[in-house]
Amino acid sequence: MITLEKVCFAYEHEVALRYVDLQIEKGDSVVIQGPNGCGKSTLIKLLNGIIYPSEGHYFYKNHEITEKTLKDRQFAKWFHQQMGYVFQNADTQLFCGSVEEEIAFGPVQMGLPETEVRQRTEDCLQLFGIEKLRDRPPYHLSGGEKRKVSLACILSLNPEVLILDEPLAGLDEKTQDMLLEFLQSFHKAGKTLITITHNRQLAETIGNRFAVMNEEHELKMI
């Protein structure tokens, strides 16, 4: 479903990915680990079509993902609906006036009927136990609350592939357990998960394939 062929990426002065090959099948749960600064977040920005390979190729369901192919609005819409990406820093993801609007934003953009939007919004508020926050502006929430809201926003889109960058960071134990359970059921439902984490328990609980990046910005399956 996802294929990377000899993908390289460099920021202005900084190499972040070096000849990365990766093959992910539908239903895989891939866990990516590696030291700070090795390029993990860069890799998933690339998978999500936020940045593009400077060398090599990225294919999603046999479509090459490039700056050019994502300029086609219909193709871009299809692609972004498939991919749910939870940022490492929740702040960059929240911009609506209230938590409720924030969660409904994606489903509204997808053009879903109002009843479906309302249903999904309620389900996600409930899943994360954040019904009480529904009228609050997301920007003033605590770190953990923001993280719950950003997860709820992504899940309201019911994506095919869920990409998580340190999903447990900053969450209390109860929320961590709830999220773990959710991720396991998401995987059991045949969906594809890509998770970056430094948390060994999370890796062992949800992963069925494991990759490690090293300080040379290379990726190896283990």
Q: Which residues bind ligand ATP (CB under 6 A)?
A: 11, 14, 16, 34, 36-42, 88
Rounded Cα–Cα distance for residues 183 and 204 (Å): 12
Q: How far is the CB of 113 from Mg ion (least distance, A)?
A: 37
Q: How far is the CB of 41 from ligand ATP (least distance, A)?
A: 3
Closer to ligand ATP by Cβ: residue 80 or 217: 217
Q: How far is the CB of 181 from Mg ion (least distance, A)?
A: 24
Choose from Mg ion, ligand ATP, none: what does 53 bind? Cβ within 5-8 Å by kind. none
Closer to Mg ion by Cβ: residue 88 or 184: 88
The region of 12-20, 21-29, 38-46, 78-86 touching Mg ion under the rule CB under 5 A is 38-46
Handedness of CA 128, 132, 134, 137 (dihedral sign): negative
CA 2 to chain centre: 14
With CA atoms as reference, report the closest residue to 41 among 89, 95, 106.
Answer: 89
Rounded Cα–Cα distance for residues 21 and 8 (Å): 10
The residue count for binding Mg ion (CB under 5 A) is 2
Read off the tokens for 196.
């970056």
Closer to ligand ATP by Cβ: residue 156 or 195: 195
Of the residues 15, 21, 27, 41, which one makes contact with Mg ion according to CB under 5 A? 41
199 near Mg ion, judged by CB under 5 A: no
Going residue by residue from 73 to 112, which x/- string records binding to Mg ion, judged by CB under 5 A? Answer: ---------------x------------------------
Q: How far is the CB of 26 from ligand ATP (least distance, A)?
A: 25
Question: Could you tell me the CA-to-CA distances from 152 to 1, 169, 199 in Å, in that order?
Answer: 25, 15, 21
36 in Cβ contact with 17 (< 8 Å): no
Q: How far is the CB of 47 from ligand ATP (least distance, A)?
A: 12
Residue number of the CB atom closest to Mg ion: 41
Rounded Cα–Cα distance for residues 55 and 52 (Å): 9
CA torsion angle 149 150 152 158 (round to 10): 170
User: Helix crossing, 143-155 with 99-109: angle to 10°?
Assistant: 20
Choose from Mg ion, ligand ATP, none: what does 74 bind? Cβ within 5-8 Å by kind. none
Residues of the shown chain interacting with Mg ion in the complex, contacts defined by CB under 5 A: 41, 88
